[in-house]
Chains A and B, each alone.
Chain A
Amino acid sequence: MPSSVAPSPEELDRLLVRLRPLVVEILQDWEIPEGEAEKLMSEVLARLTYRWSRIPDPEHWVLMALEKEARNHSARSRKEPGDE
């Protein structure tokens, strides 16, 4: 479990490198357009960083949070007028 208040830049880089294939897979599975992916992933990473000391398994948490964001994004997109 992370004990520091925030990740170090190196920790953050390592996490992003390790998760990259799974992150891309989630974004592709939910058909997130390029450009939108940045918004979603940035939101998830901001929350991760602020909650760092409370999150026991950051990699697991990022994947779960991104999955949820992508699912919500997909649901919102389908509801937009003209898409029905």
Chain B
Amino acid sequence: MSKRRPDPKTPSRDDLPGYEQDLRRVSERAHGRLTEILQEVDTAAGLLGELLAKTGAERATMVRTEPVRLHGLALCDLLEARSREAWFSDPARAVELAELAVEVSDRLDTQHYGTAIVEDARALAWAYLGNAYQVASDLRRAEEALLSAEEHFRLGDEDELTRAQILSFQASLYNAQGRFEEAARLLDRAIAVYRDAKARHLEGRTLIQKATALGYAGKFRQAERLIRRGLSRINVLEEPRLLVMARHNLIWYLTEDGHHEEAQKALEETRGLYLTLREQVNLVLLRWLEGRIAFGLGRLEEAEAALREARDTFIERGIGFDAALVSLHLAAVYAKKGDAAEMKRLAAEMVPIFESRDLHPEVLAALTVFRQAAAAEEVTLGLVERMATYLQRARRNPEMRFESEGRP
């Protein structure tokens, strides 16, 4: 420990207080507090069950009308954990659960918990709500919620781990807004916090998150390096889904960077993980990746089959953006084969994708350029690749325009 004493004429340690009585009482109080917390955790589990069994309106009423029972910090934690679980499967539910966490945190008793703990809990609840909004594509509310999180954070004890969590959610929002460099800078701060706190897994997870931001920005080489660093730090047993996501992204960046042989080898090592998780979304991503690698290695028939399967699944599930992107990857296969007839058919099959609601006007305009070029048998591999690159970046940046030769 470094010296902090303001007076240089420091007495020897023997002359200083030993704090025996203080520390004995601290221990007694801590044990008392521990018993209360364990009781609260038990109660919170029961309350969560009751809350989740009710409809949305009844839940809100229950939180409002039975404040004493719901003055539970542990209940906030449980609601946030449930919200996190629903991020990918049911974003609307993730929002609903996080809203409940905010409402419960708003009623926490500062006399009982102390202001620092209550404000920290409120900061986290708002941060979770912000991220849930972001996942549900409501970026305006996400921004507002994260601002509230920051305000409560400043009113509390400014716990570094809470700060890192808020930074991480803010970075996710920046990614969703296409502000990749800013996201990476925020994540650097979160990574430093986790490193200082010796939180190895969280540091690894955040390195992987930063790699994703750089990947969106097209910085594949840097993203690869960061993912490898992240993978060396994460606890696989704690988050198996994170491992699959990180490995998937790594292989994707290798492919985009032209390292197809290495990508193929890495995919073979990872295939078992996709199959173990047995999640539909990961299985379709696997087919997409297989198609991209096969294309890069010149195995065009194999690439076509895999990409068609991935595209059909995205269309079935109404995921327009990914369907459009896979279609362009499929178009690259036909361009390489010089198959104008299949290219025209593909362009016609893209009509349902145009009806998808998750495509913004600039992307629709770009896809129209593609359809027109296909009709005129003027699609080149270069055009398809430029469009695919545009689409990947435009996903997170609605303002971005596709600059074609025929468009001012």
Contacts and interface: CB of A to CB of B under 8 A. Distances in A.
Interface of A: 1, 5-7, 9, 12-13, 16, 20, 22-31, 33-35, 37-38, 41-43, 45-47, 49-51, 53-57, 60-61, 64-65, 67-68, 70-71, 74
Given A16-B23, A41-B23, A56-B201, 4 more contacts: A5-B37, A5-B41, A43-B114, A46-B33
A42 B34 CA distance: 12
B198 A57 contact: yes
B406 interface: no
Contacts of A38: 21-23, 25-26, 29
Nearest to B42: A5
Chain A interface, >50% SS class = helix
Contact of B197 (A12, A29, A61): A61
B166 to A, nearest CB: 13
Contacts of B30: 12, 16, 42, 45-46, 49
A43 B113 CA distance: 10
A23 B238 CA distance: 32
Contacts of A42: 25-26, 29-30
B199 interface: yes
B202 A56 contact: yes
B136 to A, nearest CB: 24
Interface residues of B, number: 45
Interface in B1-44: 1, 3-6, 13, 16-19, 21-23, 25-27, 29-31, 33-34, 37-38, 41
Interface in B137-171: 157, 159-161
A22 B1 contact: yes
B25 A28 contact: no
Contacts of A34: 17, 19, 21-22
A49 B22 contact: no
B5 A31 contact: yes
A78 B199 CA distance: 34
A50 to B, nearest CB: 6
Contact of A49 (B4, B34, B161, B199): B34
Contacts of A55: 161, 197
Among B4, B113, B120, max chain A CB count under 10 A is at B4
Nearest to B121: A50
Pick the 8 closest A-B CB pairs, nearest first. A56-B199, A38-B22, A37-B22, A57-B198, A28-B16, A41-B26, A45-B30, A34-B17
A6 B157 contact: no
Among B21, B41, B199, B202, max chain A CB count under 10 A is at B199
A22 to B, nearest CB: 7
Contacts of B22: 34-35, 37-38, 41
A52 to B, nearest CB: 8
A54 B161 contact: yes
Contacts of A41: 22-23, 26
B117 interface: yes
B201 A1 contact: yes
Interface string B223-245: 00000000000010010000000
Nearest to A54: B161
